[in-house]
Amino acid sequence: MSDIETLPLFPLHAVLLPGAGLDLRVFERRYLDLVRDCGRSGQGFGVCLILEGNEAGQPATPVAYGTEARIEDFNTGRDGLLALRVRGGRRFHVVQTRVRDNGLVVGQVQWCPPDPDDELRAEHGLLSTLLQSLLEQAGADLTRITPAQMDNAAWIGWRLAELLPLSPQQRVALLQEDDPHQRLEQLLATIA
């Protein structure tokens, strides 16, 4: 784990995974300020599952693991609210939180180690086949997926975690695991 950094947090009733996209509607002042600050600094913010509380109103208590969100696109929705498209980046562990005067939760976080570029092991080959089938069902453009991605243990695991009907708690458990092969084992146990 690396040094501790400060990261503004956006607690949700959803889990953002590395490489996954997420659409957000932003209307509370604290989150509009967060988006403005991220736009100015070029930095991301953290998305964590809510442990206790709600997405709007009083500051929610986040779980201890989350994913950095990078803004890919934004516009104004039909309802006049700011609509964001974010993409998951690095995983982090929240060491401590505090709440700013405006209600924004800010975390002291340690970045989790990046995933190694490990090849898929033979015992997980079925998961690659399952992922290909799920991607086809989802209408994904398979021509944009490289053979290297389909043989990368971490990439396979994150895409399966994104597409399988997992609970938010199961997704958080996968975020906590540093070994991509162990993540694949967890996924195998889930679908077995």
- b/e sequence 105-116, b meaning 16+ C-beta within 10 Å: bbbebebbeebe
Q: What is the pLDDT of residue 1?
A: 45
Which region among 103-107, 138-142, 159-163, 181-185 has the lowest average model confidence (pLDDT)?
138-142
CB < 8 Å & 24+ apart, contacts of 168-172: 168/13, 168/14, 168/15, 168/49, 169/49, 171/15, 171/17, 171/49, 172/15, 172/49, 172/63, 172/65
Q: What is the pLDDT of residue 50?
A: 94
d(CA 54, CA 156): 32
Whether the predicted pLDDT of 142 surpasses 90: no
Name which of 7, 98, 13 is nearest 52 in CA terms: 13
Q: What is the pLDDT of residue 64?
A: 95
Whether the predicted pLDDT of 177 surpasses 50: yes
In this prediction the pTM is 0.90
String of DSSP letters for 67-88: EEEEEEEEEE-TTS-EEEEEEE
Q: What is the pLDDT of residue 192?
A: 77
Q: What is the DSSP letter of 113?
A: P
Tell me what the mean pLDDT of segment 158-182 comes to.
96
58: exposed, middle or buried (C-beta count within 10 Å: 0-12, 13-18, 19+)?
exposed
Tell me what the mean pLDDT of segment 53-65 comes to.
85
Q: Which residue ranges form the domains of the chain, and what is each CATH number?
A: 4-111 (2.30.130.40), 122-191 (1.20.58)
